[in-house]
Amino acid sequence: MIIKKKKKKKNEWNEKYAINIAKNAGIKMTLKHWKIIYFARNFYLKFNISPPIRILLQAINKKSKKKINSLSLIKLFPNNPSIQISKISGIPNPNKCL
């Protein structure tokens, strides 16, 4: 018998869920991680589309004194930032995500 995992709906997401997903990916969540996760999540909830990395970086840098770049994201989310951010945020992968 195969048991399928029920996917989280966007309204079922919470920080405990995010921490578990991150932990399984070997990521220890910090304030920098949460800033990105909440931005991606809020973007999705507002526009009903996951933010591509380029838009995510531009928007975060617009609001933040300390700028981040794609290398910063790779350090925070080492195994494909787009997918890891989406998973931890409980949102779909961006359309152009490989």
In a domain, 2, yes or no: no
In a domain, 6, yes or no: no
Q: Which position among 74, 84, 97, 98 bears the catalytic label?
A: 97
In a domain, 41, yes or no: yes
pLDDT for the residue numbered 81? 94
In a domain, 95, yes or no: no
Tally of structural domains, the chain: 1
pLDDT for the residue numbered 27? 97
Cβ proximity of 33 and 26 under 8 Å: no
Confidence check: pLDDT of 7 > 80: no
- Which pLDDT tens digit goes with each residue over 17-76? 999 999 999 999 999 999 999 999 999 999 999 999 999 899 888 988 888 899 999 999
Confidence check: pLDDT of 8 > 70: no
The whole domain housing 58 covers 15-89
In a domain, 23, yes or no: yes
Cβ proximity of 76 and 48 under 8 Å: no
In a domain, 8, yes or no: no
Contacts of 90 (CB under 8 A, 6+ apart): 8, 10, 12, 13, 17, 18, 41
pLDDT for the residue numbered 12? 83
Q: Is 97 noted as a catalytic residue in this protein?
A: yes
Cβ proximity of 47 and 88 under 8 Å: no
pLDDT-derived band at 98, boundaries 50, 70, 90: very low
Stated pTM of the model = 0.81
CA 85 to chain centre: 2
